[in-house]
């Protein structure tokens, strides 16, 4: 068991001078506050660190006093410019000893995991995201009253052929990925593999093994932070934006997942997907449009979610079918028989997104929403090239953020089961995201000048 005393011993042994407390804001960015190691005391751990929740998007200014309480089990040594830092993830509580803040993303995902177990469905949920991102030699952007632009400079020149698993010398970012993975392994995050992705202008991917949703959500923020920091140290710029380049493949964050008991996947049935697994799939696809309000919560998400470019828009499933929202990997072992949800992207708050997927799957199991019986598949054809008549028979992902938020507003009862998500917090999320979307709608887009300036 990790205690204050055991961590103070580690601090002394490693010569650590600062302790860094990490916390996620509403939309999924990491924030942090740092204290000298001498101030790492039982009093600090018991009373926490006060902060302004309005700056994190959680509350309005008249009721924004909140407190960070460190989760000592997440303590790990981090490195910044070769300096050792003790890094600890934190939970959010209300000030004045009023208990946990119900909108804390880590609290939401803990309740989702607890709900799964309390319903007697499984002992654990297991998740494994694929992290896709672009690395550019330079990125400049600005949005002002009389100018709006972005300029991305790649190490590679545009080419028509795929860079999927390309080898050096064309793979100019091999050494960078190695260094990123070294840092991850040093942080105790085992890497499955890394490679160049399809996009020739610097699209990369890192994959991990499986872990429980809370641990994987924490890890998601760690990976994004390390990728961006290592790239910056190399004089480069990394982004997880879903669609930074028009006409090229976008960045997804495909999430492999299964439920387990006794160390084995409950989705396994004689080399195929079990009835429980099919109901889990049915739950996710039945709530597929509303899920996008949490798994794809940016306006840029819907620049990626267009037919083609390996971004599925058909809410269907198929074995080995990458054009469907859910792929059933054909190479999975029985112990890790799983599904892969391919619509998700990394602009999500991972705690909310992973919890929402799990809750949709649980709803499918409880209501016996068998994906086969509901007509969600399995599909063996390429769903990117359906006729208009065929497309009408398959539910589609939302076309934009506004549609996704409307779907979430209309369909979220499955999220509030067991008190996992709070009704008022869902309403707050929708309000914040609608404000975000409205800011884009109010601004002229650079392409509009190409279309309309000379009319």
- Among candidate residues 78, 91, 211, 340, the one labeled active-site is 340
Mean pLDDT, the chain, integer: 93
Which of the listed residues 101, 135, 169 is the one where a domain comes to its end?
101
pLDDT of residue 156: 84
**What 3-state DSSP class applies to 393?**
coil
170 a catalytic residue: no
CATH of the domain at 17: 3.10.20.70
125 in any annotated domain: yes
Instruction: Please indicate, yes or no, whether residues 89 and 116 belong to a single structural domain of this protein.
Output: no
Q: Are 307 and 313 in contact (CB under 8 A)?
A: yes
pLDDT digits (tens, 9 = 90+) for 269-279: 988 899 999 99
pLDDT digits (tens, 9 = 90+) for 306-344: 877 778 999 999 988 888 999 999 888 888 999 999 999
Per-residue pLDDT at 61 exceeds 80: no
- Among candidate residues 197, 218, 336, 437, the one labeled active-site is 197
- Among candidate residues 254, 304, 412, 425, the one labeled active-site is 254
Q: Which residue has the higher pLDDT, 291 or 63?
A: 291
pLDDT of residue 321: 87
pLDDT of residue 419: 96
Say how far apart CA 357 and CA 62 lie, in whole Å.
Answer: 33
pLDDT band, residue 136 (cuts 50/70/90): very high
Say how far apart CA 250 and CA 305 lie, in whole Å.
Answer: 9
404 in any annotated domain: yes
pLDDT of residue 362: 98
416 in any annotated domain: yes
Percentage of the residues of the chain whose pLDDT score is greater than 90:
74
Tokens 């160390």: give the residue: 263
pLDDT band, residue 72 (cuts 50/70/90): very high
pLDDT digits (tens, 9 = 90+) for 239-285: 999 999 998 999 999 999 999 999 999 999 988 899 999 999 999 99
- Among candidate residues 132, 218, 310, 336, the one labeled active-site is 132
Instruction: Please indicate, yes or no, whether residues 159 and 120 belong to a single structural domain of this protein.
Output: yes
Instruction: Please indicate, yes or no, whether residues 311 and 180 belong to a single structural domain of this protein.
Output: yes
106 in any annotated domain: no
Q: pTM (2 decimals)? A: 0.96
Lowest mean pLDDT among 17-21, 197-201, 276-280, 289-293: 197-201
197 a catalytic residue: yes
Instruction: Please indicate, yes or no, whether residues 136 and 183 belong to a single structural domain of this protein.
Output: yes
Instruction: Please indicate, yes or no, whether residues 248 and 267 belong to a single structural domain of this protein.
Output: yes
Which of the listed residues 70, 101, 132 is the one where a domain comes to its end?
101
pLDDT band, residue 69 (cuts 50/70/90): very high
Instruction: Please indicate, yes or no, whether residues 139 and 62 belong to a single structural domain of this protein.
Output: no
Structure letter (DSSP) for residue 428: H
How many domains does the chain contain in total? 2
What separation in angstroms does the CA of 233 have from each of 77, 224, 230, 236, 237? Answer: 19, 14, 5, 7, 9
Per-residue pLDDT at 76 exceeds 90: yes
Instruction: Please indicate, yes or no, whether residues 370 and 414 belong to a single structural domain of this protein.
Output: yes
Which of the listed residues 101, 133, 167 is the one where a domain comes to its end?
101
409 in any annotated domain: yes
CATH of the domain at 124: 3.30.590.10
pLDDT digits (tens, 9 = 90+) for 359-368: 999 999 999 9
417 a catalytic residue: no
158 a catalytic residue: no
Structure letter (DSSP) for residue 253: -
- Among candidate residues 31, 195, 322, 434, the one labeled active-site is 322
- Among candidate residues 9, 14, 52, 140, the one labeled active-site is 52
Per-residue pLDDT at 6 exceeds 80: yes
pLDDT band, residue 354 (cuts 50/70/90): very high
171 in any annotated domain: yes
- Among candidate residues 91, 113, 205, 437, the one labeled active-site is 205
Nearest to 78 by CA among 112, 34, 40: 34
124 in any annotated domain: yes
CA triple 365-370-376, angle to 5 deg = 130
Q: Which domain holds residue 73?
A: 4-101
12 in any annotated domain: yes
Q: Give the pairing type, strands 49-52 and 76-80.
A: unpaired
Instruction: Please indicate, yes or no, whether residues 52 and 143 belong to a single structural domain of this protein.
Output: no
Helix (H) or strand (E) holding 448: helix 446-452
340 a catalytic residue: yes
**What 3-state DSSP class applies to 99?**
coil
Instruction: Please indicate, yes or no, whether residues 90 and 116 belong to a single structural domain of this protein.
Output: no
pLDDT digits (tens, 9 = 90+) for 382-410: 888 877 787 788 999 999 999 999 999 99
Per-residue pLDDT at 208 exceeds 80: yes
Instruction: Please indicate, yes or no, whether residues 344 and 270 belong to a single structural domain of this protein.
Output: yes
């Amino acid at each position: 068991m990790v205690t204050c005393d055991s961590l103070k011993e580690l601090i002394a042994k490693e010569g650590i001078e600062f302790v860094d407390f990490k916390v996620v804001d509403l939309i999924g960015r990491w924030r942090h506050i740092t204290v000298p190691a001498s101030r790492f005391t039982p009093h600090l751990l018991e009373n926490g660190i006060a902060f302004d929740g309005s700056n994190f998007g959680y509350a309005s200014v008249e009721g924004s006093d909140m407190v960070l309480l460190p989760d000592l089990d997440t303590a790990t040594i981090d490195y910044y410019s070769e300096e050792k830092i003790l890094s600890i993830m934190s939970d959010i509580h209300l000030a004045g000893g009023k208990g946990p803040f119900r909108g804390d993303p880590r609290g939401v995902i803990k309740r989702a995991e607890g709900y799964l177990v309390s319903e007697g469905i499984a002992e654990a949920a297991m998740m494994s995201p694929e992290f896709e991102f672009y690395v550019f030699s330079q990125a400049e952007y600005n949005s002002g009253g009389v100018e709006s632009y972005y300029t991305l400079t790649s190490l590679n020149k545009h080419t028509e052929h795929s860079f999927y698993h390309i080898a050096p010398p064309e793979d100019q970012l091999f050494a960078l990925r190695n260094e990123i993975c070294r840092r991850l392994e040093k942080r105790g995050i085992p890497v499955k593999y890394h490679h160049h992705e399809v996009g020739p202008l610097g699209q990369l991917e890192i994959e991990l093994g499986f872990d429980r949703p809370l641990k994987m959500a924490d890890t998601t923020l760690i990976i994004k932070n390390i990728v961006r920091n290592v790239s910056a140290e190399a004089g480069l710029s990394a982004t997880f934006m879903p669609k930074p380049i028009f006409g090229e493949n976008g960045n997804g964050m495909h999430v492999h997942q299964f439920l387990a008991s006794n160390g084995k996947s409950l989705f396994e049935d004689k080399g195929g997907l079990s009835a429980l697994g099919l109901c889990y799939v049915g739950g996710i696809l039945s709530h597929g449009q509303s899920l996008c309000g949490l798994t794809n919560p940016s306006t840029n998400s819907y620049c990626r979610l267009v037919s083609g470019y390996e971004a599925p828009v058909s809410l269907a499933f198929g074995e080995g079918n990458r054009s469907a929202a859910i792929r059933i990997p054909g190479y999975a072992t029985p112990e890790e028989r799983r599904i892969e949800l391919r619509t998700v992207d990394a602009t999500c708050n991972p705690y909310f997104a992973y919890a929402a997927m799990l809750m949709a799957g649980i709803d499918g199991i409880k209501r016996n929403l068998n994906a086969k019986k509901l007509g969600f598949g399995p599909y063996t054809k390429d769903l990117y090239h359906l006729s208009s008549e065929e497309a009408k028979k398959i539910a589609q992902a939302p076309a934009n953020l506004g549609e996704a938020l409307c779907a979430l507003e209309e369909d979220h009862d499955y999220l509030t089961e067991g008190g996992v998500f709070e009704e008022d917090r869902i309403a707050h999320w929708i309000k914040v995201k609608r404000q975000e979307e409205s800011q884009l709608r109010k601004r002229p887009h650079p392409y509009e000048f190409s279309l309309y300036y000379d009319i």
